[in-house]
Structure 1
Amino acid sequence: MKKLYLNVALFYMGILASHAQIVSPVPAKADTANAAYHSKKLTVDEVNFVSAYYHQDGNHSAVTGGIGTELLTDFANTIDVQLSNYNKRGRKNTFLFELGIDHYSSASSDKIDPSTISSASKSDNRIYPSLNWTRTNEQTGNAYGFTGSYSHEYDYQSFGAAFNLTRLSKNKNTQFDMRLQAFLDKWKVILPVELRPGYAPGKNYEHDHSADGSAPRNSFSASFSLSQVINPRLQVLIIVEPAYQHGLLSTRYQRDYFTDGSLRAENLPGKRYKLPVAARFNYFLDDHFIIRTYYRYYMDNWGIRAHTAEVEVPVKLTSFVSVSPFYRYNSQQGTRYFAPYGQHNPNAAYYTSDCDLADLHSSFVGAGLRLSPPKGVFGWQRLNMLELRYGHYMRSTNLTSNVITLNMRFK
């Protein structure tokens, strides 16, 4: 299910982004006298392959009203191919094609209809290709581009589009980035079996879609970031990412139980505004140590407020081997619509027992190992970088998880 995948994806994005520099590398100035000699043929710059395995367990499943198993596994794989050429004016065109394929299995999703031995929602595959084109002026470092994307799984499909813009100062010490994106989603409205019209105990609803229907959910977001080189040792990045969603934002197959003993499907407002603000500080202590710190504040109109702080200290053991221990802490004030199992007010208009939206605090700790030898990893010249990362997640709602990620870059 889409909602389950999103929770997993947050881990992947945090892990893969945690080792990135805060200032995008700026290509060396192009020699205008030789600009005409840039290759106009499309060539392969690099290929990246990322594979991640995620496993979680807990006892507060939202599918069964805030109780029951949260056991879930997800095996995610993405490959991206970056190609480039130059136009007649010497501007660089970069094409980035990415294909992702995930397979997950969720024990709680099978409780949508407990009478079936297994339902289509218990395990599923998600496929999500995307294509980005960016044009860069290598003399100034300025760039702009467009992205198109698609995602599909059993109960959900999404079409996405984005525009990105980069502007650098003349001395290359200040960089402004902007990204505007939209996702137009459509997903099946699947109710818990006992809340479907004409419900009768023992009836098999696994292939009965007459009660499902579909509904849209559209998301629009922007990202504005300003990075600054303060001095040769310190770099700073400020990020603001406003977002707006409307449509079916409830996960209708999740149950909610009330103090009068009644049962309903989750119901949440059809509009949501989000405003995360973040800052990252990278301090280059010496040739062997970098201290990377990150802080993020989040708020939305559902009443959620959250603070996230992270520190990562990459240590260069040799010129081509480094380890990166990290720790992340999150504290969240939950939405006003949340209540545990059986504690919802029967007069409430909106309600959820999803612990992702509750008061909580969590820790995420782990480390990464990165190899980038000049003659290639294991002597394979084409494989110029290999990174292996592991993280362990602990949440106050008794949810725990582990994720291991392999990243390989070919050039």
Structure 2
Amino acid sequence: TEYLGFSIEMGAFVAGLMISEVEYADQTLTYVEPLRDIFASLFFVTIGMLIDPVFLWNHLEVILGLVFIVFVGKFLIITPIVRLFGYPLKTALIAGLGLAQIGEFSFVLASAGQAMGLVSRNVYLLILGTTAVTLVLTPFVLRSVPQLLKWAEKFGPLQRYFDETSQPVAIAETLPEQNYVVVCGYGRVGRILVKMLQSRNCSVVVIDESESRIQDCRMQGIPYIYGNAASWHVLEAARVERAKAMAIALPDPMSTRLCLKRALELVPDLDIVVRANQDKDIELLYQLGAWEVVQPEFEASLELSAHLLAGIGISATAIAREVQQIRSSRYLELRPPREPLAVSRDLKVAVRDMNSEWYNLPSGSPIASMTLEETNLR
């Protein structure tokens, strides 16, 4: 690329794109990563050495004005583009703010422009100062975005914009009629859930807002709804009132809570199992009405412990009993008192696969006319 008249940086970028497509891309990255970190540090040290603090102070008003123009301008360009691709308003806002800064490659372009005489020394220093300030501000902006969006979703005048932009983007041509399971989130957990349910000939409907995951559903013939699972409109399109159960495995805690709350408002007695993203979410999800809450890290620790105990010779029965005790003590203390309907349903599920047989009592049996509790049969 340098021989053809392009920059050597562009050639390195194209080489990286080519390597990313080969079979050993991950292995190559592990070799390059230490060097990448060293050169990234060196790059920013060099940029710091190029910036003139006195120039920044003397032109502070101009640089702050340029920073404002860059942030607002890029935000107003990027956000509508993301929306045009069918993503929710929340995703578009995060993308717009996250990409509002000037990228590191601008240093390379500015240096090339100065070397060719296209950029004066003062303009070059203004570019460096503006870029540096935007790079410093971006982490603070991104850290405050979730709180701002949380407030905006609850603020009356703005709430309708978030709801209106959460219409289903696409719906599969055929959806099950009834007695199906709605799986919200088709990530690693959602894929396993769908696979296990389909192996038992159970109908499913997947809700996800990732185009690539929805494309996987299309290729595998899995009924889907492309949209935000926390949206009223998407849940209504999924006809949750006809569903037998729902599994929520969304990566965002706020979306998880909204999805659970709105699904139960549509169908108060719907059987919902939820994946908790953090320990602190378990009790809240139970209080919101989840039938069951699972915390992945805690469950993973139980499986690791079970494997290690089996390796040192503990019987499978003893391991299962201990794991169940730990699991019960962890979740039961956070569960609110169960409704009679929920207890009755759990009992029916528990005895569904138990063997049962009738026995006729001989005449004069001491347990005749007793209840099961009175017989103390166990």
TM range (shorter): under 0.3
Could you tell me the TM-score, scaled by structure 1's length?
A: 0.23
As a proportion of its length, which structure holds more helix? Answer: 2
- Say which structure, 1 or 2, has more relative contact order (CA 8 Å, 6+ apart): 1
As a proportion of its length, which structure holds more strand? Answer: 1
Q: Highest Rg: 1 or 2?
A: 2
